[in-house]
Structure 1
Amino acid sequence: MAAPLHPAESGVKPVLVKRNPWKEICAASIGNALEFYDLLIYGYFAIVIAKLFFPAADETTSLLLSVGTFGISFIMRPLGAIILGSYADRAGRKASLTLSIMIMMVGTAMIAFAPTYSQIGIASPLLIIVARMLQGFSTGGEFGAATAFMVEHADAKRRGFFASWQLSTQGLATVLAAGISALLSYTLTDMQMESWGWRVAFCFGLLVGPVGLYIRSQIDETPEFKKILAVQPEKSPLREVLVHDRLNLVLAIGVVAGATAFNYVHKLYMPTYALKQLHIPATSSFLSAMVTGLVLMITAPIFGTLSDRYGRFRVLSVALLLVGLTSYPLFLALTQWPTVGTLLMVQALVGLLIAASLGPIPAMLSDIFPTRTRGTGLALSYNFSVTLFGGFAPLIVTWMIASTGSKLAPSFYVMGTALISIAAVWFLGRRMARRGSI
């Protein structure tokens, strides 16, 4: 029989002590921002990387190879979710977070110092692929452990607020990645950027990485996991999730689909879209992504708080409906008025919609899975959805534009995934209501 959505942990009493979680939340948030910075910076330099590591007969093929490599890293995310998520449920959230940032630093170093195709030939793109796979593996375990860590340090009535810092710090990562990219593109010539400028962006994350590693080594394990550890951690959290919570897992994957597709198309792919399709200068396109990240960073905790007050399902349903309805008009506005001002206004609204649709999700997913398997459940549901609907989104929409000749094609991809999420939220809401969980 399937496990209840909010099972009482065997032999574990609820933690009733009043907490001041800010120290741990901030420490986890800084490391989380560094992880996602390293992930994002590759996407922002996709065009440069395409020229240096994936030369081809025409620019479109070269760019497809580059963004395809971005997607390849997402194949490793489910594996990272399985291994590092399970590790978080067996050894602790802190242990998993520390390991994930170490792996990310290795992958980033490989890209930062990789010889180009003109220097070592086919070995060059192979190095990039291996590095991206390491980064994907690391990020696969980051969401589950970081979200569980934030939620389990928080007061039960404010889980939406504290879990939303997972998305707020992703916004901070976007601000850093886009800001550094804009600065480099403004101050350097195209030749300087291709020669060494892009490496500076990767080295920034590499230099700051040890700071995040040190901070994570100093934080305390969560009170809830300490209680589990005192009894006995789940020996096979993966098996537990797949056997007892498989329907919840499938629905959770669907819940994340629309928001993550919107996120990757409108935030990560937009600098490339603005440069290649709208012919907006690189500096301005990076600034637009910076605006998106800034709005996301500020407003994600607001929507997390709203989910605490009005319910995760109500807030998320409205947000996903808006995502589905606005994607086409946003791309239409960009193609009709392809100016920097239009791009900045569109991306500000995008940041707000990402915060509204993703902000309540970490706490919602945390509510589905019990403490004993929360790290695994969170990691699997989020990363399988991101892999399926987000990681290959730049490749898919680049292909859609090339095949149809329509600059509006990406909006149809977003609308389709939004419908999947709305259906998943509806089914999950009914399921939880039947069990008295909401």
Structure 2
Amino acid sequence: MDPTTLDAVDAHTDEHRRKAKKATGVAAFGTFIEYYDFSVYGYVAATLSVVFFPSDNPTVGLLNTLLVFGSAFLVRPLGALYFGRLGDRVGRRTSLIASIGLMSAAAALTGLLPGYAQIGIAAPILLVLFRMLQGFSTGGEIGGAASYIREWAEPAKRPFYISFIPGVAQIGKGAAAGMAALAASMLPAEQMESWGWRIPFLLAVPLGILCLYLRLSVEDSPEFTASKKEPATSTDSPLKRLWADHRRPLLKVVAISTVQNVGTYIGTVFIAVYLSTSLDFSKAQASTIVLFAVLSASVLIPCVGYFGSRVGGKKLLLMAYVAYIIVTVPSFLLMGLGSFPVAIAGLLLGMIPYALCQVGTYSSMTEFFPVQVRHSGVAFGHSIGAVIGGGAGPYVSTWLIDATGNVLIPAFILVGFGVFGIAIVAGTVRSSGSDRHLYR
């Protein structure tokens, strides 16, 4: 059965709409937990640098902590391959259940880990191991959730439905920032370094159990189920099929994902460290500033998703990249004035290109691949972009700020990638006049 025909016939029944809404909610809730668990590390990085990497030079300790943060990105492609194969061969639902279980377990183990003062060098080694397990899990979550929602949603509403993935991801980041801010504001520095940093990680246990229960209660996507009834046309692994038959779309996903991840991890995770170490805000103030920004993005992103259903992914991406060029430096200049409310306003300004880029990227990635390799294509392409853009971005920003003394380095990086993004979209992506999605 042709997937397009399946969409046209089945997606407009009341029962399908009800199931699509439930599937979207359950997939999005899992993404919330994934990004809460994954982002907590970044928001307490300044504390973790003291607990796991004690050093006379605070910058050295912070760089070591950010290297551990970046290590999670190195294994994301491996997780994407594993969960992508699982999702394309067995089912999206099975992959999503497995990924959330692993992520929650890794976060809980991190929260129970003794520090350097207790077990010496074993502490940072185990921290790296647990962080890499988180990265392995995250490698499969986005591809699975995006594919799953795309295959349930009505074609005309796909950008809006898929926008809930980055939307609730912001709520997850906001929850992580909120917990970090609450702990930092209520506990003295000594208690925060002793045990307070553990609380945000240990919340992964009840959240993970709830999400597992919900994901066990939903069906697999109808498009995937229908595809499994068709005769198999190839015995190759999804990765082999991707490289043989869908190389160009895969490279496009890597490119737009790289820009998206630079904006994500500099603009919403590294920014908490930047505010406290480069701009001299307290840790509690830094976490609160980020909390306001990401929660505002969680509201803005679905609005952009609704708008994206009308104008198309290419225009959204171009608007995002132009906005990065125009507003990023003013955004960082406002944060650098040293005023707490002005810093909030500055980061809120930076959420405009961020929201446009999130929706444009997520809604377009799933349109590049057929159902048989969609999970693998989105997961692997996005994870490679995350390694390049997200893994290196915070570390390079910290190193360049320390080397040059210029606190606008992160802004210049975002502007540069905005220019790069325009070149990518203008040269490799076109809009479909019939349904306004992105295609090869």
- TM bucket (normalised to shorter chain) is over 0.9
CA distance in structure 1 between the aligned counterparts of 2:205 and 2:46, rounded to whole angstroms: 21
In structure 2, relative to structure 1, the CA distance for the partners of 1:417 and 1:8 (3 Å cut) is: farther
TM-score (norm 2): 0.93
CA RMSD of aligned residues (A): 2.1
| Alpha-carbon contact 2:335-2:347 (below 8 Å) kept | no
* Counterpart position of 2:262: 261
Cα distance in 2 between the residues matched to 1:25 and 1:73? 26
SS of structure 2 residue aligned to 1:218: coil
- Distance in 2 (alpha carbons) for counterparts of 1:232 and 1:405: 61
Work out whether 1:211 is the aligned partner of 2:210. Answer: yes
User: Residues 3 and 223 of structure 2 are in contact (CA less than 8 Å); yes or no, is this contact kept in structure 1?
Assistant: no
What corresponds to 1:16 in structure 2?
A: 9
Counterparts of residues 33-432 of structure 1 (less than 5 Å)? 33-232=32-231, 235=235, 236-335=237-336, 337-430=337-430
The answer (yes or no) to whether the contact 1:24–1:150 under 8 Å persists in 2 is: yes
- In 2, the alpha carbon distance for the partners of 1:428 and 1:437 equals 14
Name which structure has the greater RCO, CA cutoff 8 Å, separation 6+. 1
Structure 2 distance, partners of 1:214, 1:177, is 22
Aligned-pair CA distance for 1:412 = 1.8
Contact 2:7 2:155 in 1 (8 A): no
Confirm or deny: 8 A CA contact 1:251 1:427 kept in the other structure: no
| Structure 1: runs of 5+ lacking an equivalent | 1-6
Secondary structure of the corresponding residue to residue 407 of structure 1: coil
TM superposition shift of 1:432:
6.6
32-41 vs 280-289, greater mean Cα deviation = 280-289
CA distance in 1, matches of 2:427, 2:253: 10
Note the C-alpha offset of 1:428. 2.7
* Residue aligned with 2:75, SS: helix
**Contact 1:294/1:351, CA 8 A, preserved across alignment:** no
What letter matches 1:215 in structure 2? L
* TM-fit CA distance, 1:8: 5.2
For residue 334 of structure 1, report the CA deviation from its aligned partner. Answer: 2.2
Give the superposition deviation at 1:118: 1.0
Q: 8 Å contact 1:100–1:139 — kept in the other structure? A: yes
Percent identical across equivalent pairs?
Answer: 29
Instruction: Verify the 8 A CA contact 1:15 1:223 in the aligned structure 2.
Output: no
Q: How far apart, CA to CA, are the structure 2 residues paired with 1:60 and 1:110?
A: 26
What is the alpha-carbon distance in structure 2 between the residues aligned to residue 343 and residue 150 of structure 1? 35
SS of the aligned residue for 1:16 comes to helix
Partner-residue secondary structure (3-state), 1:221: coil
Q: Which residue of 2 aligns with 1:4?
A: none
Question: Partner letter of residue 92 of structure 2?
Answer: R
**Distance between the aligned counterparts of 1:328 and 1:206, measured in 2?**
40
Q: Does the 8 Å contact 1:259/1:320 carry over to 2?
A: no
Q: Which amino acid aligns with 1:376?
A: S
Distance 1:243 1:276, change over 3 A: same
C-alpha displacement of 1:357: 1.2
| Within-5 A mapping of 1:1-12 | none
Moved more, 376-385 or 344-353: 344-353
Deviation, 1:138, is: 0.1
Answer whether contact 1:98 1:216 (CA < 8 A) is retained: yes
Q: Does the Cα contact within 8 Å between 2:170 and 2:298 map onto a contact in 1?
A: yes
Alignment coverage as a number of residue pairs: 430
The whole-number CA distance in structure 2 between the counterparts of 1:417 and 1:247 is 21
Write out per-residue CA displacement over residues 8-66 of structure 1, whole angstroms, 9 at most, x where no aligned residue.
569x8555122311111111111110011000000001011111111223110000000
Alpha-carbon distance in 1 for matches of 2:252, 2:325: 19
The CA distance in 1 between the partners of 2:431 and 2:184, in whole Å, is 50
Q: What does the per-residue CA deviation read over 1:120-160, in whole Å, with 9 as the maximum and x for residues that have no partner?
A: 11111010000000000000000000000111110011000
Note the alpha carbon deviations across 1:75-108, whole angstroms, 9 max, x for none.
0111111111121111110000000011112211
The one-letter code sitting in structure 2 at the alignment partner of 1:199 is: R
Q: Is the Cα–Cα contact under 8 Å of residues 257 and 420 in structure 1 kept in the other structure? A: no
Q: Structure 1 CA distance, aligned partners of 2:125 and 2:437?
A: 48
**How far apart are 1:351 and its partner, in Å?**
2.6
C-alpha distance after superposition, 1:200-226 (max 9, x if no partner): 111112222111111111111001001
Q: Is the 8 Å Cα contact of residues 53 and 64 (structure 2) preserved in structure 1?
A: yes
Bigger drift between 209-218 and 128-137 goes to: 209-218
User: Partners in 1 of 2:25 and 2:352 — Cα distance?
Assistant: 22
Q: Structure 1 residues 14, 165: CA separation in 2 closer, same or farther (over 3 Å shift)?
A: closer
CA contact (8 A) 1:267 1:350 kept: no
Report runs of 4+ in structure 1 exceeding 3 Å deviation: 7-10, 12-15, 232-235, 430-433
Q: Which residue of 1 aligns with 2:25?
A: 26
Are the equivalent residues in 2 in contact too, given 1:104–1:135 (CA < 8 A)? Answer: yes
Separation (CA, whole Å) in 2 of partners of 1:184 and 1:124: 22
CA distance in 2, matches of 1:249, 1:312: 17
Whether the 8 Å contact between 1:15 and 1:224 is mirrored in structure 2 is no
Distance 1:266 1:365 in 2: 21
